[in-house]
Structure 1
Amino acid sequence: MAPRTDSLRFAFQPVVNLTTSAVAALEILARPEAGDIVAEARRDPELDGRLAAFAVRAAARQETLLPLHVNVFAATVADLGGLAVLRDAVREVGRLPWEITVDLGPPFTHVPHAALLEAVDVLRRDGFRICADGVGDGDLPLRLLVDLAPELVKLDASLLAREAAVRAMRTWCEHSGALLAVEGVETERQCAVARAAGAQLAQGELFAPPTRRPVADVYVPAQAPGQAAAVRSGPPVRQFVRPAVLLPVSASAGQVRELLIGSPEVSGVILVDAGGRPVRAVDRDRFLLPLSGRYGHALYADRPAVRLADAPRTVGADATAWEVLDVVADGAPRRSGDDVAVLDPDGRCVGVVRLADVVRALSESRVEEAAGLNPLTRLPGSDAVTREVDRWIGQGRHFALSWLDVDDFKQVNDGAGFAAGDELIRSVGGALQWAASGSTRVGHIGGDDFLVLAEPGALDALAAAVLDLPWSAGGRPVTLSLATVDCPPGGVHDHQQAAACLAPLKRAAKSLRGMSWVLGRAGVPGHRIRRGTGGAPAGAGCGTGGRDVD
Structure 2
Amino acid sequence: MRSWTDTLRFAFQPVVNLTTGGVVGLEILARPVGGDCLAEARRDPELDARLAVLGVRTATHRETLLPLHVNVFAATLADLGGLTPLHDTVREAGRLPWEVTVDVVPPYTHVPQPALLEAVAALRGQGFRISADGVGDGDVPLRLLTDLAPDLVKLDASLLARPAAVRAMRTLCDGLGALLCVEGVETESQCAAALSSGAQLAQGELFAPPTRLPAADVYVPPRSPGVAPLTRSGPSVREFVRPAALLPATASAGQVRALLTGSPEVSGVLLVDAAGVPVRSVHRSRFLLSMSGRYGHALYADRPAAKLGDPPRTVGIDATAWEVLDVVAVGDRDRTSDDVAVVDRHGRCMGVVRLADLVRALAETRVEEAAGLNPLTRLPGSDAITGEVDRRIAAGRTFALSWLDVDHFKQVNDGAGFAAGDELIRAVGRVLQRSASGATRVGHIGGDDFLVLADPEALDPLAAEVLDASWSAGGRPVTLSLATVLCAPGSVTDHRQAAAFLAPLKQAAKSLRGTSWVLGQVGLPGHEIRRGAGVAAGCAVAEPGRG
Q: Give me the TM-score of the superposition, normalised by structure 1.
A: 0.89
1:108 correspondence with 2:93: no
Change (3 A) 1:82 1:539: farther
Q: Could you list the runs of 5+ residues in structure 2 that have no partner in the other structure?
A: none
How far is the alpha carbon of 1:524 from its aligned partner? 7.5
Change (3 A) 1:482 1:316: farther
1:360 correspondence with 2:364: no
The residue number in structure 1 matching 2:331 is 331
Contact kept in structure 1, 2:19 and 2:229, CA below 8 Å: no
How far is the alpha carbon of 1:381 from its aligned partner? 1.5
Change (3 A) 1:152 1:306: same
Deviations 1:437-483 (A, max 9, x none): 55442111222221223456655553454334322223321012334
The residue number in structure 2 matching 1:340 is 340
Change (3 A) 1:193 1:438: closer
Change (3 A) 1:500 1:147: farther
* Distance in 2 of aligned mates of 1:36 and 1:58: 19
How far is the alpha carbon of 1:430 from its aligned partner? 2.3
The residue number in structure 2 matching 1:210 is 210
| Helix, strand or coil at the partner of 1:376 | coil
* Distance in 2 of aligned mates of 1:243 and 1:517: 54
The residue number in structure 1 matching 2:125 is 125
The residue number in structure 2 matching 1:69 is 69
The residue number in structure 1 matching 2:43 is 43
Deviations 1:486-541 (A, max 9, x none): 67888977656765675665455445443344566777888766654445998999
* Distance in 2 of aligned mates of 1:27 and 1:417: 66
Moved more, 325-334 or 16-25: 325-334
For residues 75-474 of structure 1, the aligned pairs below 5 Å read 75-229=75-229, 231=231, 233-392=233-392, 400-454=400-454, 459=459, 462-474=462-474
The residue number in structure 2 matching 1:547 is none
How far is the alpha carbon of 1:137 from its aligned partner? 2.7
Letter aligned with residue 175 of structure 2: H
How far is the alpha carbon of 1:344 from its aligned partner? 2.2
For residues 509-520 of structure 1, the aligned pairs below 5 Å read 509-518=509-518
Contact kept in structure 1, 2:244 and 2:352, CA below 8 Å: yes
Contact kept in structure 1, 2:244 and 2:351, CA below 8 Å: yes
| Helix, strand or coil at the partner of 1:251 | coil
| Helix, strand or coil at the partner of 2:3 | helix
How far is the alpha carbon of 1:395 from its aligned partner? 6.0
How far is the alpha carbon of 1:149 from its aligned partner? 2.5
The residue number in structure 1 matching 2:52 is 52
Contact kept in structure 1, 2:168 and 2:395, CA below 8 Å: no
1:16 correspondence with 2:16: yes
How far is the alpha carbon of 1:372 from its aligned partner? 1.8
Contact kept in structure 1, 2:283 and 2:338, CA below 8 Å: yes
* Distance in 2 of aligned mates of 1:346 and 1:483: 49
How far is the alpha carbon of 1:335 from its aligned partner? 1.3
Contact kept in structure 2, 1:229 and 1:365, CA below 8 Å: no
| Helix, strand or coil at the partner of 1:218 | coil
Contact kept in structure 2, 1:440 and 1:452, CA below 8 Å: yes
Moved more, 531-540 or 161-170: 531-540
| Helix, strand or coil at the partner of 1:180 | strand
* Distance in 2 of aligned mates of 1:357 and 1:432: 34
Contact kept in structure 1, 2:373 and 2:379, CA below 8 Å: yes
Letter aligned with residue 66 of structure 2: L
Deviations 1:7-53 (A, max 9, x none): 32211111111211111100111122332211211110000001101
Contact kept in structure 1, 2:28 and 2:55, CA below 8 Å: yes
Change (3 A) 1:519 1:331: farther
| Helix, strand or coil at the partner of 1:6 | helix
Moved more, 14-23 or 476-485: 476-485
* Distance in 2 of aligned mates of 1:195 and 1:14: 17
Letter aligned with residue 137 of structure 1: D
Moved more, 41-50 or 430-439: 430-439
| Helix, strand or coil at the partner of 2:242 | coil
How far is the alpha carbon of 1:311 from its aligned partner? 2.1
Contact kept in structure 2, 1:77 and 1:83, CA below 8 Å: yes
Contact kept in structure 2, 1:231 and 1:365, CA below 8 Å: no
How far is the alpha carbon of 1:380 from its aligned partner? 0.7
* Distance in 1 of aligned mates of 2:517 and 2:331: 48
* Distance in 2 of aligned mates of 1:149 and 1:497: 34
Contact kept in structure 1, 2:405 and 2:480, CA below 8 Å: yes
| Helix, strand or coil at the partner of 1:238 | helix
Deviations 1:192-251 (A, max 9, x none): 332232222222222222222212221222222221247573222211211111222222
Letter aligned with residue 311 of structure 1: P
* Distance in 2 of aligned mates of 1:192 and 1:396: 24
* Distance in 2 of aligned mates of 1:116 and 1:493: 36
Deviations 1:370-428 (A, max 9, x none): 22222332211122123334445666767654432212223323433444323321221
Letter aligned with residue 32 of structure 2: P
* Distance in 2 of aligned mates of 1:309 and 1:184: 41
Contact kept in structure 2, 1:513 and 1:534, CA below 8 Å: yes
Contact kept in structure 1, 2:168 and 2:394, CA below 8 Å: no
* Distance in 1 of aligned mates of 2:162 and 2:127: 34
Contact kept in structure 2, 1:229 and 1:368, CA below 8 Å: no
Moved more, 177-186 or 98-107: 177-186
Change (3 A) 1:426 1:368: same
* Distance in 1 of aligned mates of 2:88 and 2:42: 21
Moved more, 411-420 or 5-14: 411-420
* Distance in 1 of aligned mates of 2:397 and 2:326: 26
Letter aligned with residue 68 of structure 1: L
Contact kept in structure 1, 2:10 and 2:28, CA below 8 Å: yes
1:480 correspondence with 2:480: yes
Deviations 1:337-362 (A, max 9, x none): 11112222332221111111111111
Letter aligned with residue 83 of structure 1: L
* Distance in 2 of aligned mates of 1:450 and 1:92: 63
Moved more, 206-215 or 191-200: 191-200
* Distance in 1 of aligned mates of 2:451 and 2:194: 30
Moved more, 233-242 or 140-149: 140-149
How far is the alpha carbon of 1:328 from its aligned partner? 1.5
* Distance in 2 of aligned mates of 1:48 and 1:203: 23
| Helix, strand or coil at the partner of 2:469 | coil
Contact kept in structure 1, 2:167 and 2:391, CA below 8 Å: no
Q: What is the total number of aligned residue pairs between the two structures?
A: 543
* Distance in 2 of aligned mates of 1:444 and 1:232: 20
Contact kept in structure 2, 1:405 and 1:448, CA below 8 Å: yes
Using the aligned pairs only, state the percent identity. 76
* Distance in 2 of aligned mates of 1:481 and 1:332: 55
Contact kept in structure 1, 2:195 and 2:229, CA below 8 Å: no
Moved more, 75-84 or 454-463: 454-463
* Distance in 1 of aligned mates of 2:4 and 2:488: 58
Q: Could you list the runs of 5+ residues in structure 1 that have no partner in the other structure?
A: 544-550
